[in-house]
Chain A
Amino acid sequence: MSETNGHQEKKRLTNPPKTIEFRVSRREKLGAAQYTETFEIPYRKSLNVISALIEIRKNPVTKEGKQTTPPVWSMSCLEQVCGTCTMVINGRVRQSCSALIDDLLLASGGNKITLEPMSKFPNVRDLQVDRTKMFDHLKQVHAWVELDGTHSLGPGPTMTQEVQQERYAYSRCMTCGCCLEACPQYHDDNYIGPQAIAQAKLFNMHPTGKADIDARLEGLVGDDGITNCGNAQNCVQVCPMSIPLTRAIYETNRDVTINALFGWLRK
Chain B
Amino acid sequence: MAIKISKTFLMRKLHQITGIVPLGTFYFVHLFTNSKSMSGDQVFNDSVADIHHIPYLLFVEIGGIFLPLLFHSIYGIFISAEARNNVSNYGYGRNWFYVFQRVTGIFLFFFLIFHLANLRFGLIPGLESYGNPVAGNADRAFAIVAAEFKNIWILIFYILGVTATAWHLAYGFFLFAVDWGIVIGEKAQRYALYGSVGLSILLSIVGINAAVAFIEPCGLLPRAFCEQVEKNEIVKPQKF
Contact = CB atoms under 8 A, between A and B. Distances in A.
Given A218-B3, A221-B9, A225-B6, A92 B178 contact: no
A190 B9 contact: no
A247 B185 contact: yes
A254 B184 contact: yes
A222 B83 contact: no
B9 A222 contact: yes
Contacts of A166: none
B86 interface: yes
Chain B interface, DSSP helix/strand/loop, else mixed: loop
Contacts of A111: none
A221 B181 contact: no
A260 B181 contact: no
Contact of A253 (B4, B178, B185, B186): B178
A260 B8 contact: no
A230 interface: yes
Interface in A117-141: none
B113 interface: no
A234 B92 contact: yes
B82 interface: yes
A189 interface: no
Interface residues of B, number: 36
A223 B5 contact: no
A185 B82 contact: yes
Contacts of B179: 227, 229, 231, 253
A251 interface: yes
Nearest to B93: A233
B9 A185 contact: no
A228 B8 contact: yes
A186 B156 CA distance: 36
A257 B181 contact: yes
Contacts of B186: 244, 246-247
Interface of B: 1-9, 12-13, 79, 82-86, 88-90, 92, 94-95, 97-98, 175, 178-186, 189
